A and B are shown apart, each in its own frame.
Chain A
Amino acid sequence: MVLDAAWAVRWLNLCAEAMAEHRVELIELDRAIGDSDHGENMDRGFQAVVAKLGEGAPETPGAAMKLTAMTLMSKVGGAAGPLYGTAFLRAATSLGDSAEIDPGAWASALAAARDGIVARGKAEPGDKTMVDAWTPAVDAARAAADAGSSDALAVLVAAAEAAEAGAVATDPLVARKGRASYLGERSAGHRDPGAVSSALILRAAVGAAA
């Protein structure tokens, strides 16, 4: 499997499908501990990404991700806009002009994305945020790439599975960042919507390569 510009476009389109499909789920998760706009914002943001991609195909995966970054920052509206925008932007910068992404470069791009989210949102692992999905995903992708996997699909799968497990693991946590932190102890027992949407994005990357 080659991770090229065509894969990136498939991935971003699948992200939009996933956000539309899970819109209500994300809204309900966010209603429990936030301001209930996450599902709607993510759906709208990725629909706008699809529209942008339709205006002309990007030449590299990095270009597709940069376009996504700018669109999400402008169209999402909530905290997810600057957070995912920064994530895609840093990943795009990490990938540069490469026409194809090898497993090591994907692991590095994920790390850059996670570092961007941390820099923008100032959250740490365990704060019940999207960082709790991204950090295990980065570690799993790096481990799979370092283990010598030349199969890009295996690295994508490792990252997606780790992100999904990380999202589930936010259930018992008490939020220390974002609107949910205003709830204090009452935020425990709910899954973090940002961690869930992060896992959806990384799972879509697998779908685009399968």
Chain B
Amino acid sequence: MTVSIVVVSHSEKIADGAVELAAQMAPNVVILAAGGTGDGRIGTSLEKVMAALDKAAGGDGAVILADLGSAVMTAESALEFVDDPEKFLLADAPLIEGLVAASVAAQGGADVEGVRRAAEAVRGPAHGGDAGRQMVEEGSVTGRGPDFTGDFELINQAGMHARPAAKIAGGLSSLAADVTVNGVDGASMTALMTLAAGKGSVLHVEAWGADAERAVNYVGGLVQAGFGEP
């Protein structure tokens, strides 16, 4: 079983297109579109959102992504009517990036909270990034160092692109570890893609938490196997 995802958009075409895009990355995840009004206009429909939540109700819960203000409000209204609200979470994330990240996390087996975190992580990494690097330069590190680290050279021709990033982020999001790869959030597919790391680049992995060692080994294993690519 995996967590389902519901896409609420003002436009039926946007919702359907977003679902199509995300499904490419997450073939086993149920991703449901709730776009447009009941009569095919621009807008959102409580009935459509409720119907999607209903379809998702039997599973391991669902994470909802919405496009603009009133889609968020319609989603919130729908959540007032569901029987087990703890199984449904609304993610505060950009629709497309958040959806792709959420779908990958769901494909990797993350729970409903993990899927929402993955979606919201596209806004910015939990560790590292510019803020983290700056702290190191100033020699004023107050947080504890990583529990495990590893350095792995990319050997596949295409380097870090969407599919490898999806594999890394998807697997890491189901582990109890905070992981950075070259300073960005390892559980965020979009952050990993911004590294633009080509063949021959070295990924420096740092991991904190109970599954830190597994996380480093997981990334290392994928990189050393060339992500199963030439």
Contact = CB atoms under 8 A, between A and B. Distances in A.
A81 B46 contact: yes
A78 interface: yes
B3 to A, nearest CB: 24
Given A82-B76, A86-B77, A74 B70 contact: no
Given A41-B43, A74-B47, A77-B42, A85 B70 contact: no
B73 A178 contact: no
B190 interface: no
Identify which of A37, A77, A78, A120 gathers the most chain B CB atoms within 10 Å of its CB.
A77
Contact residue range for chain B?
10 to 19
A74 B45 contact: yes
A85 B69 CA distance: 15
A103 B47 CA distance: 34
Given A74-B38, A75-B38, A77-B37, A120 B73 contact: yes
B9 interface: no
A74 B46 contact: yes
A121 B72 CA distance: 9
A199 interface: no
Contact of B43 (A37, A70, A83, A178): A37
A85 B77 contact: yes
A79 interface: yes
A81 to B, nearest CB: 7
Nearest to A71: B46
Nearest to A85: B77
A73 B43 contact: no
A14 interface: no
B44 interface: yes
Nearest to B46: A73
Given A82-B76, A85-B77, A120-B77, A77 B69 contact: no
Contacts of B74: 73, 81-82
A15 interface: no
Given A82-B77, A120-B73, A178-B69, A77 B47 contact: no
B133 interface: no
A76 interface: yes
Identify which of A41, A74, A82, A83 gathers the most chain B CB atoms within 10 Å of its CB.
A82
B41 interface: yes
Interface of A: 37, 41, 70, 73-79, 81-83, 85-86, 120-121, 178-179
Interface of B: 37-38, 41-47, 69-70, 73-74, 76-77
Given A77-B37, A77-B41, A120-B73, 19 more contacts: A73-B46, A74-B46, A74-B47, A75-B38, A75-B45, A77-B42, A77-B45, A78-B43, A79-B70, A79-B73, A81-B70, A81-B74, A82-B46, A82-B70, A82-B74, A82-B76, A83-B73, A86-B77, A120-B76
